[in-house]
Structure 1
Amino acid sequence: MSRLPNTSAGVHFLTDQRTIRALLRSAAPKPGDLVVEFGPGQGALTAPLSRTGAKILAIERDPSFARRLERRFGGVTVVRADLRTVPLPRRSYAVVANVPFAVSTALVRRLLHPSSTMTAADLLVEWGFGGRLARSTPRTAEAAAWVAAYSISIGRRVPAASFSPAPRVDAAHLVIRRTVRLTPPMRTLIRRGFAAPQRPVAAALGEIHPRKRAHRLLTSTGIDPPTPVAALTAAEWNRLAAALILGPPETDASTAL
Protein backbone atom coordinates (compact mmCIF):
# COMPACT_ATOMS: atom_id res chain seq x y z
CA MET A 1 0.00 0.00 0.00
CA SER A 2 1.43 3.39 -0.97
CA ARG A 3 1.95 5.96 1.76
CA LEU A 4 0.35 9.40 1.62
CA PRO A 5 2.96 12.13 1.17
CA ASN A 6 3.96 14.17 4.18
CA THR A 7 2.10 17.50 4.18
CA SER A 8 3.97 19.31 6.95
CA ALA A 9 5.46 21.78 4.47
CA GLY A 10 1.98 23.14 3.80
CA VAL A 11 1.03 23.66 7.47
CA HIS A 12 0.99 27.23 8.78
CA PHE A 13 -0.61 27.85 12.16
CA LEU A 14 -3.09 30.71 12.32
CA THR A 15 -2.14 33.28 14.98
CA ASP A 16 -4.00 36.45 13.97
CA GLN A 17 -7.02 37.10 16.21
CA ARG A 18 -8.62 39.46 13.72
CA THR A 19 -8.71 36.71 11.10
CA ILE A 20 -10.08 34.23 13.62
CA ARG A 21 -12.91 36.62 14.52
CA ALA A 22 -13.65 37.24 10.83
CA LEU A 23 -13.94 33.52 10.14
CA LEU A 24 -16.32 33.04 13.08
CA ARG A 25 -18.46 36.04 12.10
CA SER A 26 -18.77 34.76 8.56
CA ALA A 27 -19.53 31.18 9.54
CA ALA A 28 -21.87 32.18 12.40
CA PRO A 29 -22.28 28.64 13.81
CA LYS A 30 -25.32 28.14 16.03
CA PRO A 31 -26.01 25.68 18.85
CA GLY A 32 -26.78 22.28 17.39
CA ASP A 33 -25.02 22.92 14.06
CA LEU A 34 -22.45 20.37 12.95
CA VAL A 35 -19.15 22.10 12.14
CA VAL A 36 -16.11 20.23 10.84
CA GLU A 37 -12.64 21.68 11.35
CA PHE A 38 -9.89 20.13 9.26
CA GLY A 39 -6.32 20.36 10.53
CA PRO A 40 -7.02 22.14 13.85
CA GLY A 41 -3.36 21.82 14.90
CA GLN A 42 -2.90 23.81 18.12
CA GLY A 43 -6.57 24.74 18.42
CA ALA A 44 -6.56 28.43 17.46
CA LEU A 45 -9.93 28.03 15.72
CA THR A 46 -11.14 25.12 17.83
CA ALA A 47 -11.27 27.24 20.98
CA PRO A 48 -13.75 29.89 19.74
CA LEU A 49 -15.71 27.28 17.77
CA SER A 50 -16.16 25.21 20.93
CA ARG A 51 -17.78 28.19 22.66
CA THR A 52 -20.53 28.60 20.05
CA GLY A 53 -22.62 25.63 21.18
CA ALA A 54 -22.20 23.93 17.81
CA LYS A 55 -21.15 20.28 17.60
CA ILE A 56 -17.49 20.42 16.57
CA LEU A 57 -15.79 17.58 14.73
CA ALA A 58 -12.03 18.15 14.57
CA ILE A 59 -10.09 16.11 12.01
CA GLU A 60 -6.41 16.00 12.97
CA ARG A 61 -3.78 13.74 11.40
CA ASP A 62 -0.92 14.44 13.82
CA PRO A 63 -1.22 12.15 16.90
CA SER A 64 0.43 14.62 19.29
CA PHE A 65 -1.86 17.48 18.25
CA ALA A 66 -4.87 15.17 18.46
CA ARG A 67 -4.01 14.15 22.03
CA ARG A 68 -3.62 17.79 23.10
CA LEU A 69 -6.93 18.72 21.51
CA GLU A 70 -8.67 15.84 23.29
CA ARG A 71 -7.27 16.96 26.65
CA ARG A 72 -8.03 20.64 26.08
CA PHE A 73 -11.51 20.43 24.54
CA GLY A 74 -13.65 17.84 26.25
CA GLY A 75 -16.76 18.77 24.26
CA VAL A 76 -15.06 18.51 20.87
CA THR A 77 -15.02 15.22 18.96
CA VAL A 78 -11.44 14.71 17.78
CA VAL A 79 -10.88 12.22 14.96
CA ARG A 80 -7.32 11.13 14.23
CA ALA A 81 -7.41 10.83 10.46
CA ASP A 82 -6.18 12.30 7.18
CA LEU A 83 -8.55 14.87 5.71
CA ARG A 84 -8.09 13.31 2.27
CA THR A 85 -9.50 9.94 3.32
CA VAL A 86 -11.63 10.42 6.45
CA PRO A 87 -15.34 9.63 5.87
CA LEU A 88 -17.33 12.85 5.70
CA PRO A 89 -20.61 13.39 7.58
CA ARG A 90 -23.82 12.18 5.98
CA ARG A 91 -25.92 14.91 7.59
CA SER A 92 -25.70 18.58 6.67
CA TYR A 93 -22.59 20.25 8.00
CA ALA A 94 -20.47 23.37 7.68
CA VAL A 95 -16.69 23.67 7.59
CA VAL A 96 -14.44 26.23 9.27
CA ALA A 97 -10.77 25.51 8.73
CA ASN A 98 -7.27 26.77 8.14
CA VAL A 99 -6.47 24.29 5.39
CA PRO A 100 -2.88 23.07 4.88
CA PHE A 101 -1.92 24.59 1.52
CA ALA A 102 -0.50 21.32 0.21
CA VAL A 103 -3.85 19.52 0.39
CA SER A 104 -6.28 22.35 -0.41
CA THR A 105 -7.21 20.99 -3.83
CA ALA A 106 -7.87 17.48 -2.53
CA LEU A 107 -10.06 18.78 0.29
CA VAL A 108 -12.08 21.18 -1.86
CA ARG A 109 -12.77 18.41 -4.37
CA ARG A 110 -14.16 16.27 -1.57
CA LEU A 111 -16.26 19.07 -0.08
CA LEU A 112 -17.77 20.14 -3.41
CA HIS A 113 -18.37 16.65 -4.78
CA PRO A 114 -21.97 16.11 -5.99
CA SER A 115 -22.55 13.63 -3.14
CA SER A 116 -21.38 16.07 -0.47
CA THR A 117 -23.79 17.16 2.26
CA MET A 118 -21.76 20.27 3.08
CA THR A 119 -23.84 23.44 3.05
CA ALA A 120 -21.23 26.11 3.85
CA ALA A 121 -17.51 26.56 4.31
CA ASP A 122 -15.16 29.28 5.50
CA LEU A 123 -11.66 28.23 4.54
CA LEU A 124 -8.20 29.76 4.67
CA VAL A 125 -6.40 28.72 1.50
CA GLU A 126 -3.41 29.89 -0.53
CA TRP A 127 -4.23 33.21 -2.24
CA GLY A 128 -3.74 32.06 -5.82
CA PHE A 129 -5.77 28.91 -5.26
CA GLY A 130 -8.62 30.94 -3.76
CA GLY A 131 -8.56 33.30 -6.73
CA ARG A 132 -8.83 30.42 -9.18
CA LEU A 133 -11.83 28.98 -7.34
CA ALA A 134 -13.57 32.34 -7.21
CA ARG A 135 -12.84 33.41 -10.80
CA SER A 136 -15.83 34.82 -12.63
CA THR A 137 -15.74 32.37 -15.57
CA PRO A 138 -15.06 28.67 -14.86
CA ARG A 139 -12.73 26.98 -17.34
CA THR A 140 -13.53 23.32 -16.73
CA ALA A 141 -16.59 21.15 -16.27
CA GLU A 142 -15.56 20.47 -12.67
CA ALA A 143 -15.31 24.17 -11.87
CA ALA A 144 -18.63 24.86 -13.63
CA ALA A 145 -20.33 22.21 -11.49
CA TRP A 146 -18.93 23.85 -8.36
CA VAL A 147 -20.10 27.36 -9.19
CA ALA A 148 -23.47 26.08 -10.40
CA ALA A 149 -24.19 24.55 -7.00
CA TYR A 150 -22.33 26.99 -4.74
CA SER A 151 -21.63 30.65 -4.31
CA ILE A 152 -17.82 30.93 -4.07
CA SER A 153 -16.16 34.22 -3.16
CA ILE A 154 -13.17 35.67 -1.35
CA GLY A 155 -14.07 37.34 1.91
CA ARG A 156 -10.71 39.01 2.42
CA ARG A 157 -7.01 38.71 1.78
CA VAL A 158 -5.14 37.34 4.80
CA PRO A 159 -1.50 38.47 5.10
CA ALA A 160 1.21 35.84 5.39
CA ALA A 161 2.19 37.40 8.73
CA SER A 162 -1.09 36.06 10.17
CA PHE A 163 0.49 32.60 10.34
CA SER A 164 3.42 30.93 12.07
CA PRO A 165 5.58 29.97 10.34
CA ALA A 166 4.61 32.55 7.73
CA PRO A 167 3.98 31.08 4.27
CA ARG A 168 5.69 32.59 1.24
CA VAL A 169 2.37 33.98 -0.04
CA ASP A 170 -0.78 35.49 1.43
CA ALA A 171 -3.91 33.45 2.08
CA ALA A 172 -7.54 33.97 1.11
CA HIS A 173 -10.61 33.65 3.29
CA LEU A 174 -12.71 31.59 0.90
CA VAL A 175 -16.46 31.78 1.51
CA ILE A 176 -18.55 28.92 0.06
CA ARG A 177 -22.32 28.62 0.37
CA ARG A 178 -24.54 25.99 -1.24
CA THR A 179 -27.31 27.57 -3.29
CA VAL A 180 -28.83 24.57 -5.09
CA ARG A 181 -28.29 20.83 -5.41
CA LEU A 182 -27.53 19.97 -9.02
CA THR A 183 -30.12 17.91 -10.85
CA PRO A 184 -29.09 15.10 -13.24
CA PRO A 185 -30.03 17.25 -16.29
CA MET A 186 -27.76 20.04 -15.05
CA ARG A 187 -24.84 17.66 -14.57
CA THR A 188 -25.47 16.29 -18.06
CA LEU A 189 -25.53 19.81 -19.50
CA ILE A 190 -22.19 20.66 -17.90
CA ARG A 191 -20.56 17.44 -19.05
CA ARG A 192 -21.80 17.73 -22.63
CA GLY A 193 -21.25 21.46 -22.76
CA PHE A 194 -17.56 21.27 -21.88
CA ALA A 195 -17.06 18.44 -24.35
CA ALA A 196 -17.43 21.21 -26.97
CA PRO A 197 -17.02 24.43 -24.96
CA GLN A 198 -17.36 26.80 -27.93
CA ARG A 199 -20.86 25.54 -28.78
CA PRO A 200 -23.75 27.89 -27.98
CA VAL A 201 -25.29 27.06 -24.65
CA ALA A 202 -28.69 26.88 -26.37
CA ALA A 203 -27.46 24.00 -28.53
CA ALA A 204 -26.13 22.09 -25.51
CA LEU A 205 -29.31 22.70 -23.52
CA GLY A 206 -31.39 21.75 -26.56
CA GLU A 207 -30.03 18.20 -26.29
CA ILE A 208 -31.72 17.90 -22.88
CA HIS A 209 -34.92 19.92 -23.33
CA PRO A 210 -37.09 20.87 -26.31
CA ARG A 211 -35.61 23.85 -28.14
CA LYS A 212 -38.35 26.29 -27.17
CA ARG A 213 -38.17 25.35 -23.50
CA ALA A 214 -34.37 25.59 -23.58
CA HIS A 215 -34.62 29.08 -25.08
CA ARG A 216 -37.10 30.16 -22.40
CA LEU A 217 -34.93 28.76 -19.62
CA LEU A 218 -31.97 30.75 -20.86
CA THR A 219 -33.77 34.03 -21.46
CA SER A 220 -35.56 33.78 -18.11
CA THR A 221 -32.16 33.73 -16.40
CA GLY A 222 -30.68 36.56 -18.46
CA ILE A 223 -28.44 34.31 -20.56
CA ASP A 224 -28.10 35.07 -24.27
CA PRO A 225 -28.78 31.71 -26.04
CA PRO A 226 -25.87 32.06 -28.52
CA THR A 227 -23.35 32.45 -25.68
CA PRO A 228 -20.61 29.78 -25.89
CA VAL A 229 -20.61 27.35 -22.99
CA ALA A 230 -17.06 28.35 -22.05
CA ALA A 231 -18.10 32.01 -21.78
CA LEU A 232 -20.80 31.51 -19.17
CA THR A 233 -19.99 33.23 -15.90
CA ALA A 234 -20.21 31.66 -12.47
CA ALA A 235 -23.36 33.67 -11.76
CA GLU A 236 -24.96 32.47 -15.01
CA TRP A 237 -24.18 28.83 -14.23
CA ASN A 238 -25.72 29.30 -10.80
CA ARG A 239 -28.89 30.93 -12.16
CA LEU A 240 -29.24 28.24 -14.81
CA ALA A 241 -28.93 25.47 -12.21
CA ALA A 242 -31.76 27.07 -10.20
CA ALA A 243 -33.87 27.51 -13.33
CA LEU A 244 -33.53 23.85 -14.24
CA ILE A 245 -35.01 23.00 -10.84
CA LEU A 246 -37.86 25.52 -11.02
CA GLY A 247 -38.45 25.39 -14.78
CA PRO A 248 -39.10 28.40 -17.03
CA PRO A 249 -41.83 30.84 -15.99
CA GLU A 250 -45.26 30.11 -17.44
CA THR A 251 -46.36 32.42 -20.23
CA ASP A 252 -49.14 34.76 -19.08
CA ALA A 253 -52.09 34.13 -21.43
CA SER A 254 -53.06 37.79 -21.26
CA THR A 255 -49.70 38.86 -22.70
CA ALA A 256 -49.17 36.02 -25.15
CA LEU A 257 -51.18 37.64 -27.92
Structure 2
Amino acid sequence: MSTSTDDTPSDNLPSTDGPLLGAADIRSIAEALGVRPTKQRGQNFVIDGNTVRRIVRAADVTAADVVVEVGPGLGSLTLGLLEVADRVTAIEIDPLLAQHLPTTVAARMPARADRFALVLGDAMEVTELPGPPPTALVANLPYNVAVPVLLHMLEHFPTIERTLVMVQSEVADRLAAGPGNKVYGVPSVKANWYAEVKRAGAIGRNVFWPAPNVDSGLVSLVRRDPPETTATRQEVFAVVDAAFAQRRKTLRAALAGWAGSPAAAEEALTTAGIDYRLRGETLTVEQFARIAEAKPTAGTAAQPAAE
Protein backbone atom coordinates (compact mmCIF):
# COMPACT_ATOMS: atom_id res chain seq x y z
CA MET A 1 0.00 0.00 0.00
CA SER A 2 1.02 3.60 -0.36
CA THR A 3 2.80 5.18 2.56
CA SER A 4 2.05 8.83 1.96
CA THR A 5 2.69 10.94 5.02
CA ASP A 6 0.94 14.02 3.73
CA ASP A 7 -0.98 15.27 6.75
CA THR A 8 -2.47 18.35 5.16
CA PRO A 9 -6.20 17.90 4.62
CA SER A 10 -8.02 19.72 1.87
CA ASP A 11 -9.36 23.08 2.98
CA ASN A 12 -11.71 23.60 0.05
CA LEU A 13 -15.02 22.30 1.32
CA PRO A 14 -16.98 21.05 -0.46
CA SER A 15 -14.17 19.71 -2.66
CA THR A 16 -15.83 17.06 -4.78
CA ASP A 17 -16.52 16.29 -8.38
CA GLY A 18 -18.38 13.64 -10.24
CA PRO A 19 -20.53 11.36 -8.09
CA LEU A 20 -18.74 11.93 -4.79
CA LEU A 21 -20.46 13.61 -1.86
CA GLY A 22 -19.38 17.05 -0.68
CA ALA A 23 -20.19 18.95 2.49
CA ALA A 24 -23.48 20.32 1.14
CA ASP A 25 -24.54 16.87 -0.08
CA ILE A 26 -23.81 15.23 3.26
CA ARG A 27 -25.72 17.82 5.24
CA SER A 28 -28.63 17.71 2.80
CA ILE A 29 -28.94 13.92 3.03
CA ALA A 30 -28.60 13.99 6.82
CA GLU A 31 -31.29 16.66 7.11
CA ALA A 32 -33.65 14.76 4.81
CA LEU A 33 -33.22 11.61 6.87
CA GLY A 34 -33.35 13.39 10.21
CA VAL A 35 -29.90 12.02 11.02
CA ARG A 36 -28.03 13.47 13.95
CA PRO A 37 -24.53 11.96 14.18
CA THR A 38 -24.01 10.23 17.52
CA LYS A 39 -20.85 9.88 19.59
CA GLN A 40 -22.07 6.46 20.74
CA ARG A 41 -21.61 5.06 17.25
CA GLY A 42 -18.64 7.25 16.41
CA GLN A 43 -20.41 8.88 13.49
CA ASN A 44 -18.20 11.46 11.82
CA PHE A 45 -18.92 11.68 8.10
CA VAL A 46 -16.22 12.58 5.56
CA ILE A 47 -17.33 15.66 3.62
CA ASP A 48 -14.34 16.14 1.33
CA GLY A 49 -14.10 14.29 -1.98
CA ASN A 50 -10.35 14.89 -2.21
CA THR A 51 -9.86 13.08 1.08
CA VAL A 52 -12.01 10.17 -0.11
CA ARG A 53 -9.93 9.75 -3.25
CA ARG A 54 -6.74 10.05 -1.22
CA ILE A 55 -7.90 7.17 1.00
CA VAL A 56 -8.78 5.02 -2.01
CA ARG A 57 -5.35 5.70 -3.54
CA ALA A 58 -3.57 4.91 -0.28
CA ALA A 59 -5.50 1.63 -0.12
CA ASP A 60 -4.13 0.63 -3.53
CA VAL A 61 -7.63 -0.42 -4.62
CA THR A 62 -7.72 -1.76 -8.19
CA ALA A 63 -10.40 -2.78 -10.65
CA ALA A 64 -9.85 -6.39 -9.59
CA ASP A 65 -10.66 -5.80 -5.92
CA VAL A 66 -13.70 -6.87 -3.98
CA VAL A 67 -13.76 -4.36 -1.13
CA VAL A 68 -15.54 -4.67 2.19
CA GLU A 69 -16.29 -1.41 3.96
CA VAL A 70 -17.31 -1.19 7.61
CA GLY A 71 -19.48 1.71 8.72
CA PRO A 72 -20.26 3.40 5.38
CA GLY A 73 -22.53 5.98 6.98
CA LEU A 74 -24.00 8.25 4.31
CA GLY A 75 -21.79 6.79 1.58
CA SER A 76 -18.85 9.18 1.14
CA LEU A 77 -16.16 6.52 1.01
CA THR A 78 -18.51 3.94 -0.55
CA LEU A 79 -18.83 6.01 -3.72
CA GLY A 80 -15.10 6.59 -3.91
CA LEU A 81 -14.47 2.86 -3.65
CA LEU A 82 -17.10 2.06 -6.28
CA GLU A 83 -15.35 4.38 -8.72
CA VAL A 84 -12.35 2.03 -8.72
CA ALA A 85 -13.12 -1.43 -7.26
CA ASP A 86 -14.85 -4.32 -8.99
CA ARG A 87 -17.34 -4.67 -6.14
CA VAL A 88 -18.04 -3.09 -2.75
CA THR A 89 -19.87 -4.67 0.17
CA ALA A 90 -20.71 -2.35 3.05
CA ILE A 91 -21.55 -3.40 6.61
CA GLU A 92 -23.74 -0.84 8.41
CA ILE A 93 -25.18 -1.18 11.91
CA ASP A 94 -27.54 1.82 11.73
CA PRO A 95 -30.86 0.72 10.13
CA LEU A 96 -31.74 4.20 8.88
CA LEU A 97 -28.39 4.74 7.20
CA ALA A 98 -28.44 1.21 5.79
CA GLN A 99 -31.89 1.72 4.33
CA HIS A 100 -30.92 4.90 2.50
CA LEU A 101 -27.42 3.99 1.28
CA PRO A 102 -28.52 1.93 -1.76
CA THR A 103 -30.63 4.90 -2.84
CA THR A 104 -27.60 7.19 -2.69
CA VAL A 105 -25.50 4.71 -4.66
CA ALA A 106 -28.20 4.28 -7.32
CA ALA A 107 -28.67 8.04 -7.66
CA ARG A 108 -24.99 9.04 -7.73
CA MET A 109 -23.52 6.05 -9.54
CA PRO A 110 -26.28 4.15 -11.38
CA ALA A 111 -23.90 2.31 -13.70
CA ARG A 112 -22.16 0.72 -10.72
CA ALA A 113 -25.16 0.10 -8.46
CA ASP A 114 -25.27 -3.60 -9.34
CA ARG A 115 -21.73 -3.92 -7.99
CA PHE A 116 -22.76 -2.75 -4.52
CA ALA A 117 -24.09 -4.92 -1.70
CA LEU A 118 -25.20 -3.96 1.79
CA VAL A 119 -25.18 -5.98 5.00
CA LEU A 120 -27.24 -4.62 7.89
CA GLY A 121 -25.62 -5.67 11.14
CA ASP A 122 -22.86 -5.33 13.66
CA ALA A 123 -19.48 -5.93 12.00
CA MET A 124 -18.36 -7.76 15.15
CA GLU A 125 -21.00 -10.42 14.45
CA VAL A 126 -20.57 -10.71 10.67
CA THR A 127 -18.74 -13.86 9.58
CA GLU A 128 -20.09 -14.21 6.03
CA LEU A 129 -20.54 -11.76 3.19
CA PRO A 130 -22.57 -11.98 -0.03
CA GLY A 131 -20.81 -12.35 -3.35
CA PRO A 132 -17.13 -13.07 -4.05
CA PRO A 133 -14.72 -13.18 -1.09
CA PRO A 134 -13.29 -9.76 -0.20
CA THR A 135 -9.73 -8.96 -1.21
CA ALA A 136 -9.48 -5.62 0.58
CA LEU A 137 -10.88 -3.88 3.64
CA VAL A 138 -11.17 -0.10 3.55
CA ALA A 139 -13.02 1.70 6.32
CA ASN A 140 -13.43 4.81 8.41
CA LEU A 141 -13.77 2.94 11.70
CA PRO A 142 -15.59 4.37 14.71
CA TYR A 143 -12.98 5.27 17.28
CA ASN A 144 -14.55 3.32 20.14
CA VAL A 145 -14.57 -0.06 18.37
CA ALA A 146 -11.79 0.29 15.80
CA VAL A 147 -9.36 -2.34 17.10
CA PRO A 148 -11.82 -5.16 17.87
CA VAL A 149 -13.59 -4.64 14.53
CA LEU A 150 -10.30 -4.67 12.63
CA LEU A 151 -9.08 -7.85 14.34
CA HIS A 152 -12.45 -9.55 13.86
CA MET A 153 -12.44 -8.85 10.14
CA LEU A 154 -8.86 -10.06 9.69
CA GLU A 155 -9.66 -13.25 11.60
CA HIS A 156 -12.88 -14.17 9.82
CA PHE A 157 -12.01 -13.06 6.29
CA PRO A 158 -8.58 -14.52 5.47
CA THR A 159 -8.97 -13.56 1.79
CA ILE A 160 -8.49 -9.90 2.74
CA GLU A 161 -4.99 -9.20 1.42
CA ARG A 162 -4.81 -5.45 2.01
CA THR A 163 -6.41 -3.20 4.57
CA LEU A 164 -6.52 0.55 5.00
CA VAL A 165 -8.38 1.92 7.99
CA MET A 166 -8.88 5.46 9.18
CA VAL A 167 -8.85 5.56 12.98
CA GLN A 168 -8.10 7.96 15.81
CA SER A 169 -4.48 9.10 15.54
CA GLU A 170 -3.55 7.54 18.89
CA VAL A 171 -5.03 4.20 17.80
CA ALA A 172 -3.11 4.42 14.53
CA ASP A 173 0.09 4.93 16.51
CA ARG A 174 -0.63 1.90 18.69
CA LEU A 175 -1.43 -0.36 15.75
CA ALA A 176 1.73 0.60 13.88
CA ALA A 177 4.10 0.66 16.88
CA GLY A 178 7.01 -1.75 17.10
CA PRO A 179 8.63 -3.43 20.13
CA GLY A 180 10.20 -0.94 22.50
CA ASN A 181 7.86 1.90 21.52
CA LYS A 182 6.03 3.36 24.52
CA VAL A 183 2.63 2.83 22.83
CA TYR A 184 3.40 -0.73 21.69
CA GLY A 185 0.83 -3.05 23.19
CA VAL A 186 -1.91 -5.61 22.61
CA PRO A 187 -3.27 -4.01 19.39
CA SER A 188 0.25 -3.79 17.94
CA VAL A 189 1.09 -7.44 18.57
CA LYS A 190 -2.26 -8.87 17.48
CA ALA A 191 -2.33 -6.82 14.28
CA ASN A 192 1.19 -8.07 13.53
CA TRP A 193 -0.03 -11.66 13.80
CA TYR A 194 -2.04 -11.04 10.63
CA ALA A 195 -0.15 -8.40 8.72
CA GLU A 196 2.71 -6.00 8.15
CA VAL A 197 1.43 -2.79 9.72
CA LYS A 198 2.48 0.82 9.13
CA ARG A 199 1.15 4.35 9.26
CA ALA A 200 -0.04 5.60 5.88
CA GLY A 201 -0.74 9.26 6.60
CA ALA A 202 -2.70 11.66 8.76
CA ILE A 203 -6.16 13.17 8.34
CA GLY A 204 -7.17 16.52 9.79
CA ARG A 205 -10.41 17.27 11.60
CA ASN A 206 -11.97 19.69 9.12
CA VAL A 207 -12.79 17.00 6.53
CA PHE A 208 -15.43 15.51 8.84
CA TRP A 209 -18.92 16.50 9.87
CA PRO A 210 -19.23 16.91 12.73
CA ALA A 211 -15.54 17.64 13.28
CA PRO A 212 -14.14 15.23 15.90
CA ASN A 213 -12.11 16.41 18.87
CA VAL A 214 -9.09 14.38 17.75
CA ASP A 215 -7.04 13.94 14.62
CA SER A 216 -7.25 10.76 12.56
CA GLY A 217 -4.62 8.52 11.02
CA LEU A 218 -4.47 6.03 8.18
CA VAL A 219 -3.08 2.57 8.88
CA SER A 220 -2.00 0.14 6.18
CA LEU A 221 -2.02 -3.61 6.81
CA VAL A 222 -0.71 -6.07 4.23
CA ARG A 223 -1.60 -9.68 4.97
CA ARG A 224 1.25 -12.06 5.76
CA ASP A 225 1.46 -15.60 7.03
CA PRO A 226 1.27 -15.82 10.84
CA PRO A 227 4.41 -16.86 12.71
CA GLU A 228 5.37 -20.51 12.33
CA THR A 229 4.35 -22.06 15.62
CA THR A 230 2.72 -25.13 17.10
CA ALA A 231 0.62 -22.86 19.32
CA THR A 232 -2.79 -21.70 18.21
CA ARG A 233 -3.63 -18.06 17.64
CA GLN A 234 -5.80 -18.14 20.75
CA GLU A 235 -2.93 -19.51 22.83
CA VAL A 236 -0.54 -16.85 21.56
CA PHE A 237 -3.07 -14.08 22.16
CA ALA A 238 -3.60 -15.34 25.73
CA VAL A 239 0.11 -14.76 26.40
CA VAL A 240 -0.08 -11.30 24.85
CA ASP A 241 -3.09 -10.36 26.97
CA ALA A 242 -1.39 -11.58 30.14
CA ALA A 243 1.89 -9.80 29.42
CA PHE A 244 0.26 -6.43 28.84
CA ALA A 245 -2.32 -6.68 31.63
CA GLN A 246 0.58 -5.80 33.93
CA ARG A 247 2.89 -4.18 31.43
CA ARG A 248 5.18 -2.53 33.98
CA LYS A 249 6.03 -5.88 35.55
CA THR A 250 8.66 -8.32 34.35
CA LEU A 251 7.45 -11.20 32.24
CA ARG A 252 8.11 -13.56 35.14
CA ALA A 253 5.58 -11.70 37.26
CA ALA A 254 3.13 -10.72 34.51
CA LEU A 255 2.83 -14.29 33.21
CA ALA A 256 2.56 -15.94 36.62
CA GLY A 257 -1.21 -16.32 36.40
CA TRP A 258 -1.01 -17.62 32.83
CA ALA A 259 1.66 -20.20 33.66
CA GLY A 260 0.45 -21.17 37.13
CA SER A 261 3.16 -19.49 39.17
CA PRO A 262 6.11 -17.11 38.80
CA ALA A 263 8.50 -20.08 38.75
CA ALA A 264 6.47 -21.79 36.01
CA ALA A 265 6.49 -18.56 34.02
CA GLU A 266 10.27 -18.34 34.37
CA GLU A 267 10.60 -21.93 33.22
CA ALA A 268 8.47 -21.29 30.13
CA LEU A 269 10.42 -18.14 29.30
CA THR A 270 13.74 -19.92 29.66
CA THR A 271 12.53 -22.73 27.41
CA ALA A 272 11.48 -20.11 24.86
CA GLY A 273 14.92 -18.49 25.03
CA ILE A 274 13.61 -15.23 26.48
CA ASP A 275 15.02 -13.36 29.48
CA TYR A 276 12.38 -13.55 32.22
CA ARG A 277 13.39 -10.06 33.42
CA LEU A 278 12.16 -8.41 30.24
CA ARG A 279 8.75 -6.75 29.84
CA GLY A 280 6.15 -7.62 27.25
CA GLU A 281 6.60 -4.30 25.46
CA THR A 282 10.00 -5.49 24.18
CA LEU A 283 8.84 -8.71 22.51
CA THR A 284 7.84 -9.47 18.93
CA VAL A 285 4.81 -11.55 18.00
CA GLU A 286 7.19 -14.39 17.10
CA GLN A 287 8.61 -14.34 20.63
CA PHE A 288 5.12 -14.42 22.13
CA ALA A 289 4.43 -17.46 19.97
CA ARG A 290 7.52 -19.21 21.36
CA ILE A 291 6.34 -18.54 24.90
CA ALA A 292 2.91 -19.96 24.09
CA GLU A 293 4.58 -23.13 22.81
CA ALA A 294 6.53 -23.46 26.07
CA LYS A 295 3.57 -23.18 28.46
CA PRO A 296 3.85 -25.90 31.13
CA THR A 297 1.15 -28.55 30.85
CA ALA A 298 -1.18 -29.24 33.75
CA GLY A 299 0.55 -31.21 36.49
CA THR A 300 4.04 -30.41 35.25
CA ALA A 301 4.29 -26.73 36.12
CA ALA A 302 6.97 -25.69 38.55
CA GLN A 303 5.87 -25.16 42.14
CA PRO A 304 4.95 -21.59 43.15
CA ALA A 305 7.85 -19.51 44.33
CA ALA A 306 8.01 -16.18 46.07
CA GLU A 307 8.70 -13.17 43.86
- Tell me which residue corresponds to 2:282: 232
Gaps of 5+ in 2: 1-36, 107-112, 244-249, 253-265, 290-307
**Matches of residues 85-104 of structure 1 in structure 2 within 5 Å?**
85-89=125-129, 91-104=133-146
1:88–1:122 Cα change, 3 Å? farther
* Preserved CA contact (<8 Å) 2:127 2:157: no
The CA RMSD over aligned residues, in Å, is 3.4
Percent of aligned pairs with the same amino acid: 26
* Preserved CA contact (<8 Å) 1:147 1:238: no
What is the CA-CA distance between 1:19 and the residue it aligns to?
2.3
Matched, 1:173 2:218: yes
For 1:57, what is the secondary structure of its paired residue?
A: strand
For 2:162, what is the secondary structure of its paired residue?
A: strand
* Preserved CA contact (<8 Å) 1:121 1:176: yes
* Preserved CA contact (<8 Å) 1:194 1:229: no
1:8–1:34 Cα change, 3 Å? same
C-alpha separation in 2, matches of 1:231 and 1:60: 35
Match of 2:99 among 58, 62, 67: 67
Gaps of 5+ in 1: 1-6, 208-213, 216-224, 242-257
Tell me which stretches of 4 or more aligned residues in structure 1 moved more than 6 Å. 238-241
1:51–1:238 Cα change, 3 Å? farther
Cα deviation, 1:81-117, whole Å, max 9, x if unaligned, reads: 222322344945311111122322331231243x541
C-alpha separation in 2, matches of 1:151 and 1:76: 29
* Preserved CA contact (<8 Å) 1:59 1:80: yes
The amino acid of 1:38's aligned partner reads V
For these two proteins, the number of residue pairs brought into alignment is 217
1:150–1:204 Cα change, 3 Å? farther
- Tell me which residue corresponds to 1:131: 173
Cα deviation, 1:176-225, whole Å, max 9, x if unaligned, reads: 121223444374566457756636xx975774xxxxxx77xxxxxxxxx6
- Tell me which residue corresponds to 1:81: 121
For 1:128, what is the secondary structure of its paired residue?
A: helix
For 1:79, what is the secondary structure of its paired residue?
A: strand
Matched, 1:48 2:80: yes
The amino acid of 2:136's aligned partner reads A
C-alpha separation in 2, matches of 1:47 and 1:41: 11
> TM-score scaled by structure 2?
0.59
For 1:45, what is the secondary structure of its paired residue?
A: helix
1:116–1:239 Cα change, 3 Å? farther
- Tell me which residue corresponds to 1:198: 251
- Tell me which residue corresponds to 1:221: none
* Preserved CA contact (<8 Å) 1:150 1:179: yes
C-alpha separation in 1, matches of 2:209 and 2:140: 12
C-alpha separation in 1, matches of 2:146 and 2:239: 28
> TM-score scaled by structure 1?
0.69
**Matches of residues 95-114 of structure 1 in structure 2 within 5 Å?**
95-113=137-155
* Preserved CA contact (<8 Å) 2:236 2:288: no
The amino acid of 1:86's aligned partner reads V
